[in-house]
A and B are shown apart, each in its own frame.
Chain A
Amino acid sequence: MSLLEARDLRAFYGTFCALDGVSLTVDAGEFVSIIGPNGAGKTTLVNVLTGLLRPASGRVRFKGTDVTGAGAVRLARLGLARSYQLVSVFPALTVRETLAVPVLARRGLAMRLLADLRARREVWDEVAETATRFGLGHALGRPARTLPQGDKKLLDVASAFALRPDVILMDEPTSGVSTADKHAIMATLVQAGRRMGVQAIIQVEHDMDIVFGYSDRIVALHQGRVLADATPDAVRADERLIDTVVGRMHETRPSP
């Protein structure tokens, strides 16, 4: 049984067909990259896979459970976490508080009205551990809004990892980060994922260095369809595919 399995997904925005029969499976131990030019349906696919958007037709199964349109909270509890393309943090919350939120949610403590949060040693130990793993140990007391952009991105991803999900889905984990920092961020989160028991990572990514450098498998989308679902070597060898997907991407989105 695959960890995550999407079958024949169709989604529309008005009459525009964003996903036109997309199927996808992800197994334990895989790092899968979803690529494609702008408007290919990548973000729509991520939204459907994470239950944020209900597809017009098709099903999504996660660990054997039908989770089509289940919503972010339920999926997060089942073990599928996501991070967003645009950096999403709690501006006024400190790094420590930010990382505590997913830990509390996972441990079922989020609705404790009268518990003393400061006395929860196990929560704070876990928070400190996650922060250290993502290189944020020095910034625990800083409000998220005062962090540099790269650290905000790391905090965003770290808070998804703090849910200790089985699968994590990242929409452009290195967008808005300088080229120099990209590899550092990827290395950090791949290693953290392994240590924290994440079984599979799915990412949407534009940077081909990152895509070819880290993926076990690449899923190429084009106009709402799966154009290719193959290993990086196979994708690299297919010149027409590269031309369609990567070529267009560089046309519309020159790398900085």
Chain B
Amino acid sequence: MTVRLVGALVAVALLVAPWVAPRYHLTLLLPAFAYGIALLGLNLLFGTAGLLSFGHALFVALGAYTAAALTSGLHILHLEVIVVAAALVAAAVAVPVGLLCVRYVKIYFGMLTLAFGMLFYSFLYKFYAVTGGDEGLRVLRPRLLGQGFDALGKVEFLVGPFYYYALGLLGLATLLMWRIVRSPFGLCLRAIRENADKAAAVGVGVRRSRFYAFVVAAVFGGVGGALLAVPTGLADPLLSYWTHSGNLVFMLLLGGFDHFLGPLVGAVVFILLQDQVMSLTAYWRFVFGAVLAAVVIFFPRGLLGLLPRRGGAA
């Protein structure tokens, strides 16, 4: 029951937030929503299937650049189209990359995903004519469900219609991932995580399951990336840099990877914490390093690991 109760409370709080919370904090929640979607995917790989990817930022960047290419390149402004395109592009890249990566596990899987992330970073950085190099590409204000909201200023648009759009998408992504984790496929992934040899012995196609999980994770990463690029208005190469992948893993550890809602909590707490610490000190990375160490040592199951454990849940 804990999951549902927490989930319901958080959902209500987020729905009423635009009326009560300061605008500044609402704008902070937007990237948190986007990261939440991307992290749901990352956690299907790590929390459910037991594969830790250090290259998930690759798919976030792909989503962001898809949004940029569609809005500023092709003048396609419908966010629905952008989101679907980001999902498709991420899946298309995840197929070859995934086929290679799922042949490995543990640190080898992690390093290979990291390598692909950096490969894409180099591509974005060097192919100036296509990607804009280190300046990146502009992401124009999208139309939501066909509406332009031209009367609204940038911030009003973001904390108003776009806030609810992103929240709605996060809700859909959460329900979808809930369904996947609770599906026969989800159970088989957990079996593989626990004991891959045993899973194979009872007839589960281990590599194929891992590959499917990889592609699904990439799709969530791509959608998260497209959404992430709208408030900043920019897709830049650092989105694919390895430290960004590291941040995603950090968020997951912070929230708790063995809890279904861990990714969402991790995303929100990370963004708010980053904002607070950055406003206090220029050495925010130092503070974050200490926080990460403390989480790993004292709360290895993350913030949601502090909740009472339920029997046998994902």
Contact = CB atoms under 8 A, between A and B. Distances in A.
B202 A117 contact: no
A111 B212 contact: yes
A90 B205 contact: no
Interface stretch (B55-63, B156-164, B184-192, B275-283): B184-192
A112 B182 CA distance: 10
Nearest to B194: A90
Given A109-B184, A120-B184, A92 B202 contact: no
B202 A114 contact: no
Interface string B287-314: 0000000000000000000000001100
Given A101-B199, A105-B204, A163-B202, A94 B183 contact: no
A101 B198 CA distance: 10
Interface of B: 179-180, 182-188, 190-191, 194-195, 197-206, 208-209, 212, 216, 311-312
B191 A101 contact: yes
Contacts of B195: 88-91
30 contacts: A72-B201, A76-B202, A77-B203, A82-B201, A88-B198, A90-B191, A90-B198, A92-B312, A93-B190, A94-B311, A101-B202, A102-B203, A104-B184, A105-B188, A110-B209, A111-B185, A111-B205, A111-B209, A111-B212, A112-B184, A112-B185, A113-B185, A113-B212, A113-B216, A117-B183, A120-B184, A143-B312, A156-B198, A160-B202, A162-B202
Contacts of B191: 90, 93, 97-98, 101
A163 B203 CA distance: 8
A122 interface: no
A100 B311 CA distance: 17
A81 interface: yes
Contacts of A110: 184-185, 188, 203-205, 209
A164 to B, nearest CB: 11
B209 A117 contact: no
Contacts, number: 121
A110 B212 CA distance: 11
Nearest to B197: A88
A92 B183 contact: no
Nearest to A112: B184
Q: Which of B180, B204, B212 gathers the greatest number of chain A CB atoms within 10 Å?
A: B204
A195 interface: no
A89 B198 contact: yes
Closest 9 interchain pairs by CB? A105-B203, A90-B194, A102-B202, A76-B203, A94-B312, A109-B184, A104-B184, A72-B200, A88-B198
A159 B202 contact: yes
Interface string A210-243: 0000000000000000000000000000000000
A71 B196 CA distance: 13
A163 B115 CA distance: 39
Contacts of B206: 73
A113 B311 contact: no
A104 B199 CA distance: 11
A170 to B, nearest CB: 12
B222 to A, nearest CB: 17
Contacts of B199: 90, 101
